[in-house]
Amino acid sequence: MIIDRREIERMLAAEGEAMQELFARAAAVRDETVGPVLYLRGLIEYSNICRKNCLYCGIRRENRSVARYRLTPDEVIAAARYAGERRFGSVVLQGGEITTEDHIACIESLVVRIKSLFPASPLGVTLSFGEQTEATYRRWFRAGAHRYLLRIESSSERLYRSIHPDDGLHRYEERLRALRALRRVGYQVGTGVMIGLPGQTLADLADDIVFMRDMDIDMCGMGPYVEAEGTPLVERCGPPPERDYRLAMALKMIAVLRLAMPDINIAAATALSPLSPDGRLDAVRCGANVVMPNLTPRRGKEAYRLYDDKSSAIDSRLLCERIGWGEWGDSLRFGKKNK
């Protein structure tokens, strides 16, 4: 069944009982399609050094008030070993966008080391290091990474332009190019958007769902926009909608995407937590099937502040769900496409 765009918009407008019904329906579809299992990915925030200057992001290049760090290879390996020992099944290695040969080679060798940590059942490795050339994506893929996250942030080119500097380094077209390159190389491709941006309409969000379906993505991570100290977004674009609206809309987006693309992986975004202590748990209750417990060593975690967050790393209540211990938890949709 293909849900049309009008129906998507109608579902996104649901409130009260209709919204609760939407959530329950999405959770049931998740259970029937990808199963009632929650997959874990140990999140390792490698570095907050970034060449970009996204208006919303706390680690943007021009934010002088952040102390910059990069984990040592041994710190990364220790975190990955912990993930394997705890039987998380996978890790996500994430960091700012850097395109130097030195950085590319470092990530490549880290992937090789992580893959060789548990030879009998190697960890799954997801990368998230922004826009890179197809050749770089291919090197990292050959090293053993098999999933990549690159959010489109907003599928509306108008909105994308409004939340990024107009300096030639933040081009919507370039983001699309990178997403297509990832697909060609053979990754499971994850994208996503921020929800509750200043100037974002319900129609924009419905378009985001349609965009993800048209792109035939394998995974999605999307969450609310959260204010970030030292960033110019609000000053330039105006105030975002209220926090309760952003939270509810983020959950509705997850539910609607689950109905529109039943067989993909959808993450309960970390950005839900600063808006509500129950945020990530609620996401699982309305269709998400992936959570990313943060395994970054403390010296990094405090400096990797994309947005203002005082919440804790992981809600232990999440671990009461049925967990896919030791499994990669690959995208079912990707498996079907590549059979």
Binding residues for ligand SF4, rule: CB under 6 A, are: 50, 52, 54, 57, 59-60, 96-97, 130
User: Which one of 35-43, 65-73, 221-229, 257-265 is the stretch in contact with ligand 5AD (CB under 6 A)?
Assistant: 221-229
* Interactions with ligand 5AD, residue window 253-282 (CB under 6 A): 271
Nearer to ligand SF4, 23 or 129 (CB): 129
Return the structure tokens found at 71: 């984990």
| Closest distance to ligand SF4 from the beta carbon of 161 (Å) | 14
Q: Which is nearer to ligand SF4, 54 or 181 (CB)?
A: 54
228 binds ligand 5AD (CB under 6 A): yes
Give the shortest CB-226-to-ligand 5AD separation in angstroms.
4
Interface of this chain with ligand 5AD, residues 41 to 60, rule: CB under 6 A: 56-57
3-state SS string over the chain?
A: CCCCHHHHHHHHCCCHHHHHHHHHHHHHHHHHHCCCCEEEEEEEEEECCCCCCCCCCCCCCCCCCCCCCECCHHHHHHHHHHHHHCCCCEEEEEECCCCCHHHHHHHHHHHHHHHHHCCCCCCEEEEECCCCCHHHHHHHHHHCCCEEECCCECCCHHHHHHCCCCCCCCCHHHHHHHHHHHHHHCCEEEECEEECCCCCCHHHHHHHHHHHHHCCCCEEEEEECCCCCCCCHHHHHCCCCCHHHHHHHHHHHHHHHHHHCCCCEEEECHHHCCCCCCHHHHHHHCCCCEECCECCCHHHHCCCCCCCCCCCCCCHHHHHCCECCCCCCCCHHHHHHCC
Instruction: Confirm or reject binding of residue 226 to ligand 5AD (CB under 6 A).
Output: yes
Which does residue 293 bind out of ligand SF4, ligand 5AD, none, counting CB within 5 to 8 angstroms by kind?
A: none
Tokens standing for residue 13: 């407008």
Single out the residue of 145, 194, 209, 291 in contact with ligand 5AD (rule: CB under 6 A): 194
170 and 54 Cβ atoms separated by less than 8 Å: yes
Asked if 227 contacts 275 with a C-beta cutoff of 8 angstroms, the reply is no
**Residue 271 contact partner, candidates ligand SF4, ligand 5AD, none, CB within 5 to 8 A by sort of partner:** ligand 5AD
Residue 217: contacted member of ligand 5AD, ligand SF4, none (CB under 5 to 8 Å, by partner type): none
Least Å distance between CB 262 and ligand SF4? Answer: 29
Cβ proximity to ligand SF4: between 7 and 309 the closer is: 309
Residue 76 or 286 with smaller CB distance to ligand SF4: 76
Among 69, 304, 307, 334, the residue binding ligand 5AD under the rule CB under 6 A is 307
Q: Which of 306, 314, 330, 334 binds ligand 5AD (CB under 6 A)?
A: 306
The answer to the question of residue 103 lying near ligand 5AD (CB under 6 A) is no
The backbone torsions φ and ψ at residue 5, rounded to the nearest 5 degrees and listed phi first, read -60, -35
- Write out the binding residues for ligand 5AD, residues 144-163 only, by CB under 6 A: 151, 153
CB of 285 to ligand 5AD, least distance (A): 21
* Site residues, ligand 5AD (CB under 6 A): 56-57, 151, 153, 194, 223, 225-226, 228, 271, 306-307
